[in-house]
Amino acid sequence: MSPPDGAPNPAVRGPARAALPVASLVGAAMFLWPFLGAGRPAAASAAGFGVGTATALAAVELAAGRLDTRRLALLAALSAIDAAARAVVVTGIGGFSPIFLLILCGGYVFGAEYGFLLGATTMVVSALATGGLGPWLPYQLFAVGWVGALAGIAGRRRTGRPTRRDAVVLAVVGVVTGYGFGAAMDVWNWTFYQSSPGLGFRAGMPFGEALAHFARFYVLTSFVYDTFRAVGNAVMIGVLGLPVLVALARLRARLQASVVASADPTALGAGGPALPPVEQT
């Protein structure tokens, strides 16, 4: 008997657990390409990898029953709100951007897979809204997606109503991802910087030399810039994080449902055996 509509599908739960790690490996291969002496992937290939991977992850989550129509609608709404915020404050202050608030909070409450999809869809919607479509988009898709995923991993032990402790944990995640996002995106930027023999990129560089060049490039060109993002994330979570976490936790509770199914519909009310409740999480 197949599970009721909207209920978790146990047959897909196992493969679904591997979906995000596999998706992350695809993204990591894209970012590591320059360090392996191969240069940048073609823009069309990178776009296919990025959009295709996010779509495949969403399909797995739908098949597993963890992303039903209500959570999908919430995903679209949060992505649209974030895209609107980015349209108003495109550049931010230094590297700071308000889009990370909902991505961090959404991932923390709804889980790593949901956080990744929230970050990825936010960047796609934002690019369509602001005309920011370009070869950098697939890299942004993964980098922002990983911000939401890391927040989801940090929130796995969360129980009950979010507290100030949850906001503190998330603020720390915001600092780490503030620098991590900047470093990841700098890999793509660095491949265009070829003028300096001590910092620049060239195809075919040995791994050690490429890593040393990139480290110097990041420290000299981006570390201070990314500090605005890291500190901004912490301040933003400190001021707004707790009420947003509480609101999202309430939404998550309302989106959970219990579905009772029976092996034999005619047995209901007649003392026949019934399947145990299936809780949607």
Q: Rounded to whole angstroms, how far apart are CA atoms 246 and 250?
A: 6
Q: Rounded to whole angstroms, how far apart are CA atoms 225 and 273?
A: 63
Average pLDDT over residues 212-229: 92
For residue 108, is pLDDT > 60? yes
pTM of the predicted structure, to 2 decimals: 0.83
Please give the pLDDT value at position 45. 77
Q: Rounded to whole angstroms, how far apart are CA atoms 147 and 117?
A: 10
Q: Rounded to whole angstroms, how far apart are CA atoms 146 and 150?
A: 6
Please give the pLDDT value at position 14. 59
DSSP-assigned beta bridge partners for residue 84: none
User: Which of 34 and 171 is assigned the larger pLDDT?
Assistant: 171
> DSSP character for 238?
I
- Spatial contact of 145 and 116, defined as CB atoms under 8 Å apart: yes
Q: Rounded to whole angstroms, how far apart are CA atoms 276 and 1?
A: 13
Question: Which CA distances in Å does 22 have to 85, 113, 130?
Answer: 30, 12, 30
Average pLDDT over residues 75-98: 81
Average pLDDT over residues 167-196: 91
For residue 84, is pLDDT > 80? yes
Residue 216 exposed, middle or buried by CB count within 10 Å (0-12, 13-18, 19+): middle
Residue from 182, 177, 191 nearest 223 by CA? 182
Q: Rounded to whole angstroms, how far apart are CA atoms 233 and 169?
A: 12
For residue 259, is pLDDT > 50? no
Q: Rounded to whole angstroms, how far apart are CA atoms 281 and 271?
A: 29
Average pLDDT over residues 256-270: 46
Average pLDDT, the chain: 83
Residue from 164, 156, 167, 165 nearest 237 by CA? 167
User: Which of 212 and 11 is assigned the larger pLDDT?
Assistant: 212
Please give the pLDDT value at position 213. 92
Q: What is the pLDDT of residues 112-170, one digit of tens each?
A: 999 999 999 999 998 888 777 788 889 999 999 999 999 999 999 888 899 999 999 99
For residue 23, is pLDDT > 50? yes
Provide the residue ranges of all domains of the chain, joining segments of one domain with +.
10-254
Please give the pLDDT value at position 159. 80
Q: Rounded to whole angstroms, how far apart are CA atoms 202 and 192?
A: 9
User: Which of 85 and 181 is assigned the larger pLDDT?
Assistant: 181
Q: Rounded to whole angstroms, how far apart are CA atoms 106 and 144?
A: 13
Name the phi and psi angles at 193, rounded to 5: -100, 100
Residue 280 pLDDT class (50, 70, 90 cuts): very low
Radius of gyration in angstroms for the set of CA atoms belonging to the chain, rounded to a whole number = 21
- Spatial contact of 119 and 78, defined as CB atoms under 8 Å apart: no
